[in-house]
Amino acid sequence: MNGALYIGQRLGKGAVVVLAIIIVNFLLIRMAPGDPATVMAGESGAADAVYVAQLRKTFGLDRPIPEQLAIYVANIGRLDLGYSHRMQRPVFDMIVERLPATLLLTVTAFLFSLLAGITLGAIAAARAGRLSDTLITVVSLIFYATPIFWVGLMGILLFTVTLGWLPAFGMTNVSAGQGGLAAGLDIARHLIMPALTLGLFHMAVYARLTRASMLEVFGLDYVRTAYAKGLPRGRVVRMHVLRNAVLPVLTFAGLQAGQLIGGAIVVETVFAWPGIGRLAFDALMQRDYATLLGAFVFTSAMGVIFNLLTDLAYLVLNPQITLER
């Protein structure tokens, strides 16, 4: 199978996955109690049957569910994520407006988790059985088992309420100015806790995976040969063990990168970070179906794209890999 056909198959499978996600999310949201018409009518203080029926007709909620789904899927095919009657704005515009904040958070968390995880895993493997290995393993297990939202809340309690070192909510401080170095440093201060909270879980995963992979490589013949040649242990670890052991870690990281978008919804809600996750949470509370579905579709598509990019990276690095499938 040639590369073009391989890429085409991956694109086709990705499109099917996104379509399935659209259908499932659409049906699940429609099954939830309440709808935009009921909520808006209640907020306006005019929740009589006639007014609610008018609102439902305006939102298209009076049509059968299959027809609503068909219309929504057709609109997404034209890159139209719908219109938020509550915000009086196209959903696509609101998502694009929030996208930079979400990308800043997720990319920072991804780089932190990957670099810190590989570093800690390498230290643990090089010092297997020692105190440092035990400490790294215990810390990794703690962050792996701890819910993300709880880590965020404890971070706020410690670094904001108790110590007063870092801001707890938002992305910027109004008093920091509109641009320049001061504004950049202000964003960086607001970014520290959300990025660490989102990245610590994945850091624990990468640390444990790196440690296990390196311990396996330590037992291979070419590593014993390197020691037999008299090479220093540090060079053997860096040049022969880590370089080969890190490959499965990078593979797993590429597949997990899309999940950071999903985790960002929780983190953005805890820290009031103005990204797509916070937009989705607000839309859920307001029963803004169009915005909520648009955020789900967009984040799901980003996850599929990350996985596709991982497949393409493997194809570039090794054109012979699994092309027969």
Cα 15 to chain center, whole Å? 19
Specify if 67 maps to a domain: no
Output the domain CATH number for residue 277: 1.10.3720.10
Per-residue pLDDT reduced to its tens digit, 213-264: 888 877 777 777 776 777 777 677 767 677 777 778 877 887 777 677 777 8
Q: Which helix (H) or strand (E) holds 89?
A: strand 89-90
Amino acid at residue number 295:
A
Question: Quick check: 188 pLDDT over 80?
Answer: yes
Specify if 193 maps to a domain: yes
Structural Rg of the chain based on CA atoms: 24
Percent of the chain past pLDDT 90, that is, above it, reads: 6
Specify if 13 maps to a domain: no
Residue with tokens 């990794």: 140
Give the model's pLDDT for residue 174. Answer: 67
Please state the rounded mean pLDDT for residues 16-44.
Answer: 73
Specify if 168 maps to a domain: yes
Cα 232 to chain center, whole Å? 40
- The rounded distance, in Å, linking the Cα atoms of 28 and 20 is 12
Angle of helix 131-145 versus helix 91-126 axis, rounded to 10: 160
Specify if 64 maps to a domain: no
Considering only residues 142 and 178, tell me which one the structure prediction assigns the higher pLDDT. 142
Q: 140: buried, middle or exposed (CB in 10 Å: 19+, 13-18, 0-12)?
A: buried
Q: Strand, coil or helix: what is 2?
A: coil
- The rounded distance, in Å, linking the Cα atoms of 247 and 44 is 57
Percent of the chain past pLDDT 70, that is, above it, reads: 82
What does the DSSP 8-state code read for residue 130?
Answer: S
Q: Which helix (H) or strand (E) holds 192?
A: helix 180-218
Give the model's pLDDT for residue 195. Answer: 92
Considering 100-109, 257-266, 287-296, the range whose residues carry the highest mean pLDDT is 100-109
Residue with tokens 């090479």: 231
Amino acid at residue number 274:
P
Per-residue pLDDT reduced to its tens digit, 109-162: 989 998 999 889 888 888 888 888 899 989 888 888 888 888 889 999 989 888
The structure's pTM equals 0.78
Specify if 143 maps to a domain: yes
Considering only residues 306 and 194, tell me which one the structure prediction assigns the higher pLDDT. 194
Contacts of 108 (CB under 8 A, 6+ apart): 191, 195, 199
Computed over every residue of the chain, the mean pLDDT equals: 79
* N residues, the chain: 325
Alpha carbons within 13 A on the beta-carbon side of 299: 24
- The rounded distance, in Å, linking the Cα atoms of 87 and 47 is 20
Specify if 83 maps to a domain: no
Specify if 311 maps to a domain: yes
Give the model's pLDDT for residue 194. Answer: 92
Give the model's pLDDT for residue 304. Answer: 80
Lowest mean pLDDT among 17-21, 118-122, 248-252, 275-279: 248-252
Please state the rounded mean pLDDT for residues 71-99.
Answer: 83
Range of the domain at 245: 92-317
Alpha carbons within 13 A on the beta-carbon side of 227: 9
Nearest one of 29, 98, 145, 88 to 272, comparing CA atoms: 98
Domain count, the chain: 1
